[in-house]
Chains A and B, each alone.
Chain A
Amino acid sequence: MIPPAFEYLRPKTIPEAVAMLQQHGDEAKILSGGQSLIPMMKLRLARPAYLIDINRISGMAYIKEDDGFLKIGGLTREAELESSPLIHSKYPLLLDTAHVIADPQVRNLATVGGNLAHGDPANDHPAAMTALGAQVVATGPKGERVIPIEEFFVTLFTTALKQDEILTEIRIPIPPAKSGGAYFKLERKVGDFATAAAAVQLTLDGSGTVQKAGIALTNVGPTPIKARKAEDFLRGKKPEAAAIEQAAKLAAEDAQPSSDLRGPAEYKRGLVKELTKRAITKALERAGK
């Protein structure tokens, strides 16, 4: 399958890329990893007249802690997340997530920024970043603006990014001590999108009570679903078996699954409950260490 013809632009800097977006408006799309966009172009579901390749812009790929935040550059490849010692040691939720995105070849090109900016609720980072309480930095003609993750996903394939903005950085508040996270995804085969998935990030206080809880779900709605009822329930409680079971039940109630080729809606809802339970259990285990 062959995409329609387009003009290929290769800016060297972010301001240059932003200027190109301004100039061409909704006829232009950013090419980051391209692992979602190019398949859509090959099916002619996306037909940008201008493709702005940002892959040669230096300084857009990094993983570092700074000023109370883990900062990930928009162009950081999933494979870089997977091999980062920092992610391995302190951000198990992100490691779990990166591991289950597609396959090794795709992970070499796919970017964290693209995974969020594409606005596909089937992508894995949206739920993980929601559970982590992340912020998205959008760079446009007037400079940077910070968008809280809860405001970022609007609906199917639509984010809060304006037409002339590029997602340049993701910021995650550095979790305090006694924090842990986990991502549990059920897929029909390796590399598939989620039938359903649950992302959990928890912080315990000195007495083992849940101080902070972030729970979000993948591919059971038009955007990632923040399981607020489950989060509110867990906060302030000792996470014993009954509490975990109830939180998982509440998360399943917040899911909005559709019946499709991956299964009936009720099956997916049941899956959310089980995956949330397992993710909470694993997150607690990691928080306890």
Chain B
Amino acid sequence: MAKQTIKVKINGREREAAVEPRLLLVHFIRESLALTGTHIGCDTSNCGACTVIVNGNTVKSCTMFAVQADGAEIMTVEGLIKDGALHPLQEGFKQEHGLQCGFCTPGMLMSSYALLSKNSNPTEDDIRWGISGNLCRCTGYQNIVKAVLDAAKRMNEKAMAQGGTK
């Protein structure tokens, strides 16, 4: 099957590759681009461990072909850190013990990131709804919710300190 060339901008960096049409986006990210932060949890489109952000929206990268992402801007969990500084979400998960085994965590971070970018002051219900496409077998979700609330607080404080509104 003929390979096709695709171009993506991933975590701010332009990448190009020749791929088979049947290559899943998650395999492209993990194997072709060596970004293994994105995980494969179930491979049946249920668990959300493979969640990444494509053109501003969360998608399950195991349920999309890499060729569909041609020309897209993609963010993975590796894109959260800025100049060596943890993103407030990463601080929140650290402070509030929002992970145990960590397998669902990249997906949780991506879904939370997307949630906070649309709603900077979510309630607990908003957060539970926002992560409803991400399964966790370890934590019972309680500390994940606390982590996102903590992150929102940090981000709002930072925005206020900078004199702007988010």
How far is it, in angstroms, between the C-alpha of A133 and the C-alpha of B129 when the chains are bound? 31
| Contact among B45, B114, B129 for A39, CB-based, below 8 A | B45
> Any chain B CB within 8 A of the CB of A175?
no
Question: A53 near B68 (CB under 8 angstroms)?
Answer: yes
In the complex, which residues of chain B have a beta carbon less than 8 angstroms from the beta carbon of A41?
22
Q: Are B111 and A105 in contact (CB under 8 A)?
A: yes
**Contacting residue for A42 out of B43, B46, B51, B58, CB 8 A:** B43
In the complex the two chains form, what is the Cα distance from A104 to B114 in whole Å? 10
Contact B57 A79 (CB under 8 A): yes
Residues of A in contact with B, size category: 20 to 34
**Which of A4-12, A116-124, A137-145, A158-166 sits within the interface?**
A4-12
Asked whether, in the complex, the Cβ of B44 is within 8 Å of the Cβ of A103, the reply is no
Chain B residues with CB under 8 A of A108: 57-59
Q: How far is the CB of A95 from chain B (nearest CB, A)?
A: 14
- For window 120-145 of chain B, which residues contact chain A by CB distance below 8 Å? 129-130, 132-133
Please report the C-alpha to C-alpha distance between residue A283 and residue B129 in the assembled complex, in whole angstroms: 24
- In the complex, A105→B67 CA distance in Å? 19
Q: Across the interface, do B111 and A3 meet the contact criterion of CB distance under 8 Å? A: no
- CB-CB under 8 A from B129, the residues of chain A are 104
Look across to chain A and name the residue whose beta carbon is closest to the beta carbon of B63: A38
Task: Please determine whether B48 and A8 come into contact, CB atoms closer than 8 angstroms.
Answer: no
**A258 in the interface, Cβ–Cβ < 8 Å?**
no
B130 touches A3 (CB 8 A): no
Contacts of A6 in B (CB 8 A): 1, 21-22
The complex places the Cα of A108 from the Cα of B2 at a distance, in Å, of 29
CB proximity of A138 to chain B, nearest CB, Å: 24
Quick one: which of B45-75 are within 8 Å of A by CB? 45-46, 48, 51, 57-60, 62-65, 67-68
Residues of B within 8 A of A (CB): 1-2, 4, 20-22, 24, 43-46, 48, 51, 57-60, 62-65, 67-68, 111, 114, 129-130, 132-133
Sampled A-B contacts (11; CB under 8 Å) = A5-B20, A6-B21, A42-B24, A51-B21, A103-B132, A104-B58, A105-B60, A105-B111, A106-B60, A108-B57, A109-B59
A-B pairs with lowest CB-CB distance, top 7:
A103-B133, A8-B21, A5-B1, A108-B57, A105-B133, A190-B132, A105-B58
